Amino acid sequence: MAKDGVIAEEAAVQAAIEGIYDVISGQVGAPRDWDRMRSLMTEDARLTPIGPNGHRSHDIDGYIERSEPFLLEQGFFEIETGNRIEIFGNLAQVWSAYEGRTGSADGPVFVTGINSFQLVKTEDGWKVFSILWQAANDELPVPADLAAKEAN
C-alpha cells in the first residue's frame, strides 16, 4: 500500500477511536449517543475491563447498562493522550493511552491507563470489534512512549 493509503487508513482508524471517546465523554446528566457507539462497533463487539482480580467482558448493551449510571451521575471525560496504530490488511490494533477526568474536560484526572482497541475493516469502514482496558498504577505506569506522544 502506498504511503498515502496507509495514512488514510490510519486516519480512518483514528476517527473510529475518537468517536468512541466522544460518545462516552460528557457533562453530568448529559445523555450519551449510544446509537452512535453501536454504529462505530461490530454487532458482536466486546468491551472488557481488566482489573487486579481478572476481567469482565460485556457486549455493547451490557457495557451501557453497567456504565451509564456512573457516566450520567459523575460526568466523565476520557481523553486520549497518545497512541500507536498498527494495521495489517483488514485488521487494526491500537494501543491508546488515556486519562479519565470527572465533572468536566478540565476536571481532575482520577485515572490513567491503556485501552487496547481491535478493529476490523468492513464494507462500511473500520469498526471496533473489541476494547480491553486496564488502569495504570504505581507498579504499572503508562509506557513512556505513549504517555506523552501526540495521537496519530
* Domains of the chain with bracketed CATH: 3-136 (3.10.450.50)
Do 21 and 80 contact (CB within 8 A), yes or no?
Answer: yes
pLDDT at 5 over 90: no
| pLDDT tens-digit map of 136-148 | 999 999 999 898 7
Nine cell digits for residue 15: 476517527
Determine the residue type at 88: F
d(CA 90, CA 1): 12
Residue-level pLDDT at 9: 97
The whole-model pTM stands at 0.93
pLDDT band of 152, cuts 50, 70, 90: very low
pLDDT digits (tens, 9 = 90+) for 95-139: 999 999 998 999 999 999 999 999 999 999 999 999 999 999 999
84 pLDDT tier (thresholds 50, 70, 90): very high
pLDDT of amino acid 149:
53
Q: Helix (H, G, I), strand (E, B), or coil: what is residue 57?
A: coil
* CA 63-66-72 angle, 5° bins: 105
- Average pLDDT for residues 30-35, to the nearest whole number? 98
pLDDT at 8 over 50: yes
The order of strands in the sheet holding 54-55 is: 54-55, 41-51, 125-135, 109-122, 91-102, 76-88
Q: Tell whether the model's pLDDT for residue 151 goes beyond 70.
A: no
DSSP 8-state class, residue 74: H
- Average of per-residue pLDDT values in the chain: 94
